[in-house]
Each structure stands twice: as structure tokens, then as C-alpha cells.
Chain A
Amino acid sequence: MVNIKRSPIVDTGEAVGIVAAQSLGEPGTQMTMRTFHYAGVAEHVPLGLPRLIEIVDARRDISKSLMDIYLTKEYSKDKKKVEKIAKGIEQLTLGKVAKIVEDFENKSIRIIVDVKYLESRNLTFRELVKKISKFLNGSARVRTKSGKYILITAKTSYVQLRKMSMKLKSLHLFGIKGLSKATVAKDDASKEYFIRVGGSNISELKKMEEIDFSRLYTNSIRDIEKHFGIEAARSAIVKEIKQVMDLQGLAVDVRHVMLIADAMCSRGYVEPVGRHGLSGKKESILARAAFEETIKHLVNASIKGEEDKLNGVTENIIIGQTIKLGTGKVKLVMR
């Protein structure tokens, strides 16, 4: 284990970048738009090319994030306990637990509440009313009718009324913000139950002691970077890209994926490949100009008086020299 063999190390001057790009790009052309689903989550999770682009672009708002939440040993073996926690995690808004009816004639909003359900979640009707009035912050009159429904009257325009009702619908009541559709699944390997939930909110989950934080996983690379650091983010990039390729049945050597992940994390933070990332921050002016936004790079370089050191591949091809790779890396020396 400790003794690293020299044999798997590539030769000096090997074009690992190009080979990695080709190794990922070629199967990428065959990638279908076919989509599979994660078991248990009804919503569509992007896979294949769209997901690959998402990872490589290091998007902050990925189109569908997911979390796998593992619990500590006390809970994880008992399906019922896990289910209870899962139910508690899921975010419930007012719109989900109550019926909100707009009455434009009287400029009012009626909220019909299932009191029994509220009480089962340890929230009394009174507390709910308090919460709503706090939320509206005096912008409307809040009244209760026969302990069953809440009547809100406001002397505003119809547009404002509609906006108010939309806001009320998304009023956070239970669970953790941003998490939805919690399902309990069984890990076949460790024979324990875990929670798979849509959305990503690590900072809130951190506070829960039932959760085994060391095994928490999300497919949002930016979240991993924020809470676990750059090394974790690098591993996550590798894992996510590998998963995309495997799901499509495409065999790509991990080392190519690792190289890309390394490149994306090389500055200590995750940055995208492409115009705003790796390609756009290359050292050489000519290489940047050859990629995108030619004039911008040339003019900016002239303002700063930049010099092209001609160390890369692209710039040497442009000026018509041998590239400093492979056979161009070595030189004959007279003895």
C-alpha cells in the first residue's frame, strides 16, 4: 500500500489533458438523452449530458439537488424511527397543510386549517395565528372564525392580495427549509435505513444530532465545497461524473475524471471549465484569444502590456513552432 509503484505513472511529456478530454468527450457524443430515475424520488433528476454539463460548469443552482442522510446507529436500524425523522425533515409550508382561498369581492383571504393535523405536529391553532400575524407584520387584519379558519382582510389592491396569498402559501411551518420529498431507503450493503431527500441544506441538518454527519452526502458540489472543503468537493466531482458515465453504461477510466476534477479544484476553490473558468484564465493571451472573446483578450492584454511566454500547446501551434509535449519536450544535447 505504502510502496507506490512507478509503473502506473505516465511518462514526462504525455498529453494527459488532451487524452482525458478525448476519453470523456468521445463517449459523451454517444450519450443519449435517455433518463433514468433515482429510486424513490419521483421528480426528474438530470442525468447524462445535461448533468455532465452541470458538473463541469460548477453551477451553483443545480436543477435538482438531492441528499442522502444517514443516521446514527441508534436510529438507522429501525425503519419506523427513520421514517419519523424523515417526516420531520421534510419542509411543510402553509399551502401544504391548509386550504387558502382568495375572496376578491371582500378583499380577504380565508385559510381553512386542519387543526387535528396541526396538533399532531405540536402546533396549536393559536400559535399558527400568531405566526401568520407575525409574518404579515401588520399589513393586514387577522381574525379567527370559530377556531376553524383564519380570515385575513386587507385594504390593498387585488394584485397585492394575490401576492399576499402566494406568500402565505410558501410560509414555512415544519421541517427544514429547502428539503422536500423525503423517502426512506435501505442501504443493501450496511443493512440500515437512510433518508433520501430532494433539495440541499447542510447547515440546518448539522444541528440535528440524530444525523451521522460524516456520512451526509449531497449531489450539490458547491454545498460540499462550502461545508466540507475543497478536497471533499474534488471527490464529489469525481464521484458525480463517474456516476453519470456509469449510468449510461460508458466505461471511462477514473483517472481521466480525476484529472478534470483536479484541474477544477487546483486554485483552492471549485471553478468551472470554460469561459469563466479554466479556459478563460489560461496564462497565454493567444490561447485565451483562440478560445473565446478574442478581441476582449487581445485588447486587455495590450492595456496591461502582457507578454506571452509561449509555454502552452495552442500558442505554439499558432505561431508555428513545435509544441512542448511528447517528442517536442526533449532536446538533443551536444556532449
Chain B
Amino acid sequence: MSKSKQTRSQSKRVVVYLNGIYLGFHDNGDELVKSILEKRSIRELTPNLNISYNKKTGEVHLNTTGGRLRRPYIVVKNGKPLLTEEHLEKLKSGEITWDDLVAEGVIDYLDSEEEDSLSYIAMDESELTSDHTHLEINPASITGAIVSTIPYPDHNSSPRLTMAASMMKQSLGLYAVNFNYRLDSRAHILFYPQVPLVQSASYSALNYDKRPAGQNFVVAVMSYYGYNMSDAVVVNKNSVERALSRSVFYKTYETEERRYPGGQKDKLMVPNPNIMGYREEELYRNLDEDGIIMPEVEVKPRDVLIGKVSPPRFMEEVATFGITEEKRRENSVTAKGGDYATVDSVMLTESLAGNKLVKVKLRSLKVPEVGDKFASRHGQKGVISYIAPQEDLPFTKSGVVPDLIINPHAIPSRMTAGHILEMLGGKASALDGEYVDSTMFSGTPEDELRAVLKKYGFEEGGEEVLYDGITGEKYKATIFIGVIYYQRLHHLVSNKMHVRSRGPVQLLTHQPTEGKAREGGLRFGEMERDCLIGYGASQLIKDRLLEESDKTIVRVCADCGSLGVYDYSKRREYCPICKGTRMDEIEMSYAFKLLLDEIKSLNVFPRLRTGDKR
């Protein structure tokens, strides 16, 4: 038995699979693979084909399906890359394209299986040997478009790169130059976007330098009293007043004059006071004759933007009264909570169904304030905790005051050395007026940045002597200060702030609603309840779960224990089950009343035995 095993592993006989499905046998795996690769290299076989060969199991896998992750490589023959200077020049002049290179066999796309089994890829041209089959175009291409914009990513820990990439998507910038004509439901525009001083080679390719999303901040790494603990940041008030990270927020409301079955339709107008659900008159004050608000009017929450009346929801209402016009209901579009804004523009058009369509765009200025979120491109995010007057902030001997102060504790545990390098690079760039290249694996090295700083008379490590703005005293320690690109993220407190004391309740349970849009409360959940039990705070539990929630007074029959009713016309209370009239008024949560009803629906009759509180 052992003998046959040996011969099998030694033989070159292989099983061939095409796209994972058994195709057949071949007597010589090496030869098969060699000839397939040769045929593919002269493009007799499609470049979409990838092949892998497992000598141990004697399997050859051919793959041509979609959905495999593949990367392009320069083909190498006899230790020489097939891509020549001639190709590059032709590419530049536009004579040939990328696709031509692939068709010619200069570029191969490899999938992960082929990369692992049949290829030998050189990272750099200098290390090429005759054994190599392919050459990496650029090692930095292992990342995608977004990660490639992170400066010095090879100096950061990988979780931070992931976080930086996801935060870059939330940054405010100039997302479209025609933003004035667009009616996006929400949009942010940064006032003065700046091109980053430290940037990688992909910036121009991605047009990031044409639509940047951030600004270069002067940042000091130090503590500022207690204000920048736990990722909080301190911002210079004078910088903010000089429009640092200032942005504008657009929000669009829209409505349509809909037609309903039965020939009725909505009407855009200033509603009559006798209409169903008429709001306070004050709220309609900004409407024009046509029932639509005018541009450049300032609005507050609950203000009507577009006045609209609709036909009643149910036809019976029409039938009982016979008059259609009088019984129409109010259906206006109003500004939601927190919308202190100016009407930017009003658009009148027609919807696809041919109805009159109105869009109102509100504009509000968003000056950075305490609670707004900022992030560098290294996954270092923070929230403004204090906007300090410039005179209270530290300054260098040349009089430079930081725009932002971050806490040194934010750096070591997260291992974002790239953040430090970018600060150094930004400082060097600001001094000599050249952009600093921070491309992965090939960015300007630290030594060169240090040399630049030295050349301009700065401490080469980026640390400077700072003076306390309040006392004027010199700090005992030197402070690392530099220029780094910071982004304002679209999590603005002014769009999130929400409070409630009293407010709407749910129809079914009589409990407070949930969520900011419904002016809801914050849930006092099961675990919070457990905590109060743990403290023995029984009055407080009752307050949270009953008084401040869904307390109701229910009549309970003292004889049979079922829920009673009150007949308003006869001014009499009675029990519908036993016809008794002895009633007790019991306070309970509406949810419990609902539970009793549901138990009844199970054909179980719950009785409440009432009595005086013991």
C-alpha cells in the first residue's frame, strides 16, 4: 500500500478542474501548466484565465469566472520586464491604452490562487532574477483609492488606516461645484477647502487636489488644562472667526400636489383657519400668496415652508357632511426641530406624474462649536471641548499660535506614527513652499523633513519652546507643534441636539415616542431599571416607569374585578360584565391595561382584586 502511495505522489498525473468542476486527467501536470501559461502569454488563451497547480494533491485549477479578485502585474521574461520605455511614451502620447498592454501580453492579471502557486513576483525592478515571472507595478497599489490618500500609511497601524478611510468619507469639502443649483436632501459645503500640504501620488489622479475636503491646521500636541482629555480637542477661537473649518449646511424639503382617486387633489395655498388641523397663524407668516415661502426668509422649527391642504383621508367624512371644500385637512410641509435656517432657494417644477412639485432648500451656517467632530487622516478623531480665545493659547517664539491642540495620549497606544510624520512634513512644507510626498513606501523620509526644518532655523524634531498664553510663562517642556491636514466631519451637534420634557406619546401604548424626529424621549431600559432595583430606589422606579411614562387611571369593578366604563352622557360608572356600580379608581400603566386586554383576547379572564394600600 505504501509503495503505491509513493508512486502516485511522484507521478505527474494531475486532475484538472475548470471553474471548480472536474474536467479530466492529464498525464503530465508540469507540461500542461507550462503550455497553458505559454498560450496565455501569447494571448492564444484569454487573459481572463488564471491557473493554479498544487503538486501535493495533484490538482490543476483553471478559473475563468467573474468575481475573483485580480491584480495587474508587469510580465517578466528572462529577468527583463516586457514593459519598455517605448510603451510608456506611447501611453503618454495616447497612442496606446492600458487595454492594449493587456492584449499585447505586457500586463497580466493574476488572481490570488495563481499568485500563490505559479508566479514569482518581484517588488522592485532592481531585484529581478531570471526566475521571476512578474513585476509589481507599484507596491503602493496594494491599497484602494481611499487608503491611498492617507499620508504615510506605512507608518500607521492597520486598524487606524481602516478608521481613517471610513472617516475620510464623512469629511466636509466641496463635493460638487454646481452645489448652488443642486437640491440634495442634505449637503455640506466647506467654505475654504485647502489642498493638503502633505499628499501622496494618488491625489492628482483622484482629483482630490481639485475638490479637497479639509484644511491645514497648526496643531500643538500638549495638554491644555483639562480641556483635551479623552480625544477632546481645543480650538483657537480667533481661527474659527477667521473661518477655520466653517461650512454651510443645505437641507431640501419637497412636496407635490397629488391627485387622489375620485378626482380630488391637493392644493398649495395658505390654508384657511377653519380647516382641519390648522396650525397657529404665526407659523404661516412667511408664506407668499401662492402658499410657498420666499427665498432669504429666516425660518424657525415648526414654521410652514409650503402650505398645502389635502382632501380628507376617509370618504365617509365627506358623505356625512356633504360639503367637500370645507372639510379639507392641513398637510403643510414644516421645518423640523433644530432647523434655524434661511431659505436658500425655491424651485417650482413638475413631477413625473405631471403634478406641481415644489422644493425648498434651507441654508444654515455651521460655525465650528463645542461638540463638533474633527479628524486627521490617521484615524485620529476628536470633538471640540473648548473654543479658547487666542490670547489664552500658547505661542511660539515667532508668535505662532496653534489652531488646534490635541492630547499627547492620543498617539502612543494607537501607534499612528504617520500622524507625527505628517505634522513634521506639513511644517516643512509650510516653510519651503513645496508639497511633501507621503506615498506609501516611497514618501519623503523623516531625515529630509528634519533637514528642511533645520535649514529654516527650527528645531529639527519639530519641538518648540512655547509660552503659556495666560501667564506668559515659558513651558518647561518643549512642545511638538506642526502643520497637519484636519477634516471637519459631518457629525455636527447642531444637527443632533435634542431635548424633551413633555411631548408626543405613542397611540398604542401611551408611552413616549422614540427618536429625535418624533421629539422622543430616551429609553429607560431594562438594565437601567435593574440598577434602580439594586439601589432600592423604589419611588424612583415608579416615577420613571409610571408617572413619567404611561400612567392612566382605570376604573375597576369592586365586585367582579373587571375593567369598568364611565358613561359620560348618564354621568354614571358601571361594570359591563356584572352590571355592578361599585367602582375603584386604580392607577396603573397603560401597558398593563393593554396586557389585560390581550389576556382577555386569549380567552382568559383576569380579575383585579382591589383594596386600600397596605
Contacts and interface: CB of A to CB of B under 8 A. Distances in A.
A29 to B, nearest CB: 11
Interface of B: 529-531, 533-539, 541-542, 545-546, 551, 587-589, 592, 595, 599, 602, 604-605, 609
B602 A295 contact: yes
Contacts of B588: 319-320
A322 B542 contact: yes
Interface string A293-335: 0010011011000010000010001111111111111000000
B539 A22 contact: no
Nearest to A22: B534
Contacts of A13: 536
Given A18-B533, A318-B592, A298 B604 contact: yes
24 contacts: A13-B536, A15-B535, A18-B533, A18-B534, A298-B599, A299-B602, A299-B604, A301-B604, A302-B602, A302-B604, A307-B609, A320-B542, A320-B589, A322-B538, A323-B538, A323-B541, A323-B542, A325-B538, A326-B533, A326-B537, A327-B536, A328-B539, A329-B536, A329-B538
B607 to A, nearest CB: 9
A15 B599 contact: no
B604 A326 contact: no
A317 B536 contact: no
Contact of B539 (A14, A15, A301, A327): A327
Contact of A15 (B534, B542, B545, B595): B534
A320 B543 CA distance: 9
Interface string A8-42: 00000111001101100000000000000000000
A21 B545 CA distance: 22
A306 to B, nearest CB: 11
Given A13-B536, A322-B542, A328-B539, A317 B529 contact: yes
Contacts of B545: 317, 320
B495 to A, nearest CB: 32
Contact of B536 (A22, A319, A325): A325
Contacts of B529: 317
Contacts of B604: 298-299, 301-302
Interface of A: 13-15, 18-19, 21-22, 295, 298-299, 301-302, 307, 313, 317-329
A319 B592 CA distance: 6
Contact of A320 (B530, B546, B599, B609): B546
Give 8 nearest A-B pairs by CB, closest first. A326-B536, A328-B538, A302-B604, A320-B546, A320-B589, A322-B538, A323-B538, A18-B534
A14 B538 CA distance: 11
B541 to A, nearest CB: 6
Contacts of A307: 609
Given A299-B602, A320-B542, A323-B533, 15 more contacts: A14-B536, A15-B533, A18-B530, A22-B531, A298-B604, A301-B604, A302-B602, A302-B604, A317-B529, A319-B589, A320-B545, A320-B551, A322-B539, A325-B536, A327-B537
A299 B589 CA distance: 22
A317 B602 contact: no
A19 B542 contact: no
A320 B589 CA distance: 6
A55 to B, nearest CB: 22
A17 to B, nearest CB: 9
A323 B541 CA distance: 8
A320 B536 contact: no
B523 to A, nearest CB: 15
Contacts of A302: 602, 604-605
Contacts of B539: 322, 327-328
Contact of A322 (B530, B534, B541, B599): B541
A51 to B, nearest CB: 24
A326 B545 CA distance: 17
Contacts of A18: 530, 533-534
B530 A22 contact: yes
A18 B537 CA distance: 13
A321 B613 CA distance: 10
Contacts of B537: 326-327
Give the interface centre of A13, A317, A318, A320 by most chain B CB atoms within 10 Å.
A320
Nearest to B529: A317
Contacts of B530: 18, 21-22
Contacts of A298: 599, 602, 604
Nearest to A326: B536
A18 B609 CA distance: 29
Nearest to A302: B604
B152 to A, nearest CB: 33
A317 B534 contact: no
B525 to A, nearest CB: 13
A318 B538 contact: no
B546 to A, nearest CB: 4
Contacts of A14: 536
A307 B536 CA distance: 26
A200 to B, nearest CB: 36
A317 B588 CA distance: 10
A317 B599 contact: no
Contact of B538 (A19, A301, A327): A327
B533 A320 contact: no
A313 B602 contact: no
B591 to A, nearest CB: 8
A313 B526 CA distance: 13
A326 B541 CA distance: 11
A320 B609 CA distance: 15
Contacts of B602: 295, 298-299, 302
Chain B CB within 10 Å, residue with most, of A19, A318, A323, A324: A323
A14 B535 CA distance: 8
B541 A320 contact: no
Contacts of A319: 588-589, 592
Contacts of A323: 533, 538, 541-542
Nearest to B595: A318
A54 B536 CA distance: 31
A226 to B, nearest CB: 35
A324 B541 CA distance: 11
B533 A325 contact: yes
Contacts of B536: 13-15, 325-329
Nearest to B596: A319
B449 to A, nearest CB: 42
A320 B539 CA distance: 11
A301 to B, nearest CB: 8
A87 B497 CA distance: 72
B153 to A, nearest CB: 30
B551 A326 contact: no
